[in-house]
Amino acid sequence: HGPTRPTIPGSCLGGDNLARDVFSRLIKGSWVVIQIAPMATIFAFMVGITLGLPAGYYGGKLDVFLSFLANLILAFPVILIFYLLVTPEIVLTGLPSYMAIVLFIFPLVFVAVLLNSRYYTQPSVRTPVLIAVLGLFGWLYLSMISNDGALVKTSTYDIPGLPAFLDLFDIGPGLLVVFVAVVFVNAPTVFRIVRGLALDIKTRDYVAAAQTRGEGPWYIMLWEILPNARGPLIVDFCLRIGYTTILLGTLGFFGLGLESESPDWGTTINAGRRLLSLYPHAAIVPALALLSLVLGLNLLADGLREESLRD
């Protein structure tokens, strides 16, 4: 008889080579994906939309400059960028923390511009709404970039951040590095998509009508162009979550970013492949979970694409 699957009382999927419950690690690993993939995709979209709309609407030197930066980032292989950003020597310089300070401010800017353009003609409403919303989002922003009371921690210096009693939550160093890396590699692609949509939609009649009414540029971009670009953006959002899930699995498989004992699916697959001929379930189960999630997101994106074409 060949070797049998390690059994753990009460476990429906048995254990791995270290007698850890495969089902529990599968569920815990899904939480890692849920924490990073959708939220990092949202942040990447905030960056891409905030920069892509003015690039497509205004054109000129702004478009040339932002497009050059996006193409420069896209010229590097994704895995190489990930590897560089999660390398311990790079992490110790504080570079991921500086990148988080820059990238995480885009949702704050997006919300501020969105509300300001919407209530620009109603100052009595605009001012209190902006103060309340920006206060809340500013607090969340500082909580995200602050860790143990510091914005940036290196071997030689610390930059003070939000005091511990005001810090709502701390993102672990490994999780923060992976989160920033995912946003950084996804944002240029979203930028190019949004820029292309803005270039096309700004020539439509309803945009010309808004300009004739005297609406401001940001009102037109956020309330005329962006809503009419929602179909392709929603489809790309679903596809990008799946793409990000694959990236996370790749990082975990190669042991980059997250802790070596992290239950994420990539790390679990890498640990299970060492005994694949003896206990295949330890690697196959998380691989099937990764496959089913990405396949489901792709099918959802296809359905949304068909619905957008009907509209």
Query: In 3-state terms, the chain is what percent helix, strand and coil (to 5)?
Result: 70, 5, 25
Q: What is the pLDDT of residues 145-184, one digit of tens each?
A: 887 777 887 777 778 877 877 777 777 777 888 889 889 9
Listed residue (237, 259, 257, 239) closest to 248, CA to CA: 257
Of residues 11 and 93, which shows the higher confidence score? 93
Please report which confidence band the pLDDT of residue 1 belongs to, taking 50, 70 and 90 as the band edges.
Answer: very low
Instruction: Compute the distance between CA of residue 18 and CA of residue 16 in angstroms, rounded to an integer.
Output: 5
Average pLDDT (122-141) is 92
Q: What is the pLDDT of residues 16-58, one digit of tens each?
A: 666 677 778 888 888 888 888 999 999 999 999 999 999 999 9
Instruction: Compute the distance between CA of residue 147 and CA of residue 131 in angstroms, rounded to an integer.
Output: 25
Please report which confidence band the pLDDT of residue 2 belongs to, taking 50, 70 and 90 as the band edges.
Answer: very low
The tokens describing 107, both together, are 């949702």
Q: What is the pLDDT of residues 86-128, one digit of tens each?
A: 777 888 888 888 999 999 999 999 999 999 999 988 889 999 9
Instruction: Compute the distance between CA of residue 13 and CA of residue 282 in angstroms, rounded to an integer.
Output: 9
This prediction's pTM:
0.87
Listed residue (118, 137, 135) closest to 226, CA to CA: 118
- Domain locations along the chain: 22-310
